[in-house]
Structure 1
Amino acid sequence: MIKAKALKQGDHIGIITPSAAAPVRFNERYNRGLDQLRIMGFHIIEGKCSNKIQAYRSSTIKDRSEEINEFIYNKDVKAVISTIGGTNSNSLLPYIDYEYLKKNPKIFMGYSDVTALLLGIYAKTNVTTFYGPAIVPSFGEFPRMLPTGKEYFENVVQRKKKAPYTLEIPDVWTEEMIDWNTQSREKQMVKNEGWKSLRPGCVKGRLIGGNLNTMSGFLASDYFPDLKGSILFIEDSFKDMAIQERSLSMLKVAGIFDEIEGLIVGKHEHFNDLDSPFSIDELLLEIIGDTDIPIITNVDIGHTFPSHVFPIGIEIELNATTGTITFLEDGVEE
């Protein structure tokens, strides 16, 4: 595994918009996110797609790919962070300069649709990538980034915590949606009921995963990592029980549940159970069947806040008996 250097104050961060045009649609929040990073001591370089919009996307596939490659080639840029997700980051996978990045590793971070880029880069280069905060939804939170989310970012990307360490369960969390262009109050936080041990057991393996819905756009391609022996994490947003059955069964028929050592399922933002007479956890067990792997659900990763930062490719321990996740190595080097 190849690791980038830990992010330090004074470093330059490149900002990409590989799918949805969030900087244009939510400009105030976008700029607040950039200011948050500046307050934290970083220099910002905005990508050329940050001021563009083409309906559902920021710009052409060519422009979006070039935006990423320009930051890969820029030796001053130590990290690349996405503005938001969207739907079409997978379109860029054939055009990234993986060989150059492999020889000159740097931090790539985002979540949701950016799963395609994070897993594609990891699969092609063996460089650790980071499932973590994006500029508009996370760094740009009103009136400021959640302190716990900021702490999780610093722990992992700036290496303020050194492995091995066990992840904490946040005391409170939120999935409240407030219009980003009119928001005038902080989101309401609710008590965190904790992580649920769905199937006991303790295993070690490489941490790999991301947004489940996004995976359907490049599963079984050369850009999807080998999951044999890994601990898979998945999360989703605004889906319903029927869609989740389809997505989880996609993993089943692809043989993924037979390859992995364990499973981590994140909190599902605004899940619609369609009045089903069973829970999403019961559906998961029904689909997995007799495959006996440790499973933890309701984990704080992905679309709910605050969310942990998961370095893709590091060795972790999943103890679904005690309901704990322990990072056995860091995602970055000194």
Structure 2
Amino acid sequence: MTQGKTIGVFSPSSAILRDRFDIGANVLEQHGYKLVIHPQTYSGADTGNQLAGTTEDKIKAYADLASDQSIDFIMAATGGNRACFLLPELEKLPSHKPIMGFSDITALLAAHYKMGIKGWFGPTVQTFARMDQHHIDLTFNLLSGNHPSINFKNGETIKNGTVTAPIFAATLSNLCALIGTPHFPDLTGHILILEDIGDELNRYDRMLWQIFATMKPAGLVFGQFIDNKDTGRPYGESLNQIIKKHSQHIDTPIISNADIGHDGRIFPIPVGQNVTLNATNRALIF
């Protein structure tokens, strides 16, 4: 999506923080994008809690943006909670548009992908406020098609090899929440990027078991899992040990500790696009 395109914005998850949202909107406009900010975007912004209006408000906002012919794609204002509440009604709408976001927006990306709509696992508008210049530049270069590869130079190769397959990126807990619902897409044979924030080590262990019992990936990239918890009696394994334990049973190229996650090291991953993962050289080639 090159400069000059028009982005529709709404709040499918939690309420925005106005100062951070305004910073992100300015970044987008400075890079040549036009914004259509739906009034629902500001729902709940001054209440002090997370709620961004009702599910009905959010569905109407999405429908308004999706039916607007001047809008090229939709961008989530921020992540948070409750995007999954939109899914049953989302599928009934006559019009849809690709969306970009991550974290809680994983639910919308997954439901869209099952409907054949490819979006981007990438920054929300508000995320730009905590991104460094490198990742801001990387985001716009990728959207413009001017950055053919990503090198995870700080990553660790767990299993060598190269594979070309469709890619899907997700926040692990949000993706696992969809398993067993009508909204979970078939991700077998995909290169899967996983990251998360603020959960317990024992829950990550359980979620990884669940996701790999559900689908068999063609390749794996474990991103950043930050602010991890180990409440109560120590679990006994670090996150790195947990990841390597699950990786033993997966015969695909695997990278861990890749620089993508909730800490501002985020950039657009084109959902469903065929890419090449070279785990030996820790590279992702678009």
**TM-score higher than 0.5:** yes
1:95 CA drift (Å) = 1.5
Secondary structure of the 1:246 match is helix
Q: Which runs of 4+ in 1 moved over 6 A?
A: none
1:157 CA drift (Å) = 1.6
Q: In 1, are the aligned partners of 2:176 and 2:211 still within 8 Å (CA)?
A: no
1:101 CA drift (Å) = 4.2
Secondary structure of the 1:286 match is helix
Secondary structure of the 1:268 match is strand
Match 2:122 to one of 132, 139, 148:
132
Unaligned runs of 5+ in 1: 1-5, 170-192, 328-334
Aligned residue in 1 for 2:206: 246
Aligned residue in 1 for 2:275: 316
Alignment of structure 1 residues 169-248 onto 2, 5 Å: 169=152, 194-248=154-208
Q: In 1, are the aligned partners of 2:159 and 2:253 still within 8 Å (CA)?
A: yes
Q: In 2, are the aligned partners of 1:198 and 1:281 still within 8 Å (CA)?
A: no
Provide the rounded CA distance (Å) in 1 between the counterparts of 2:92 and 2:255.
33
1:100 CA drift (Å) = 4.3
Aligned CA RMSD, in angstroms, stands at 2.1
Give the TM-score normalised by structure 1: 0.78
Q: In 2, are the aligned partners of 1:228 and 1:260 still within 8 Å (CA)?
A: yes
Q: Percent identity?
A: 23
Match 1:148 to one of 134, 147, 153:
134
Paired letter, 2:128:
F
Q: In 2, are the aligned partners of 1:90 and 1:117 still within 8 Å (CA)?
A: yes
Match 2:99 to one of 95, 99, 108:
108
Unaligned runs of 5+ in 2: none
Q: In 2, are the aligned partners of 1:241 and 1:280 still within 8 Å (CA)?
A: yes
Provide the rounded CA distance (Å) in 1 between the counterparts of 2:56 and 2:217.
35
Going from structure 1 to structure 2, the CA distance change for 1:273 and 1:152 (only over 3 Å counts) comes to farther
Provide the rounded CA distance (Å) in 2 between the counterparts of 1:222 and 1:152.
34
Alignment of structure 1 residues 27-38 onto 2, 5 Å: 27-38=18-29
1:289 CA drift (Å) = 4.3
Match 2:146 to one of 160, 181, 200:
160
Q: In 2, are the aligned partners of 1:198 and 1:294 still within 8 Å (CA)?
A: yes
Give the TM-score normalised by structure 2: 0.90
Cα displacement string for residues 159-188 of structure 1 (whole angstroms, at most 9, x for unaligned residues): 233xxx32134xxxxxxxxxxxxxxxxxxx
Going from structure 1 to structure 2, the CA distance change for 1:100 and 1:8 (only over 3 Å counts) comes to farther
Aligned residue in 2 for 1:264: 221
Secondary structure of the 1:236 match is strand
Cα displacement string for residues 87-110 of structure 1 (whole angstroms, at most 9, x for unaligned residues): 2111101112577446xxx44100
Aligned residue in 2 for 1:188: none
1:302 CA drift (Å) = 2.6
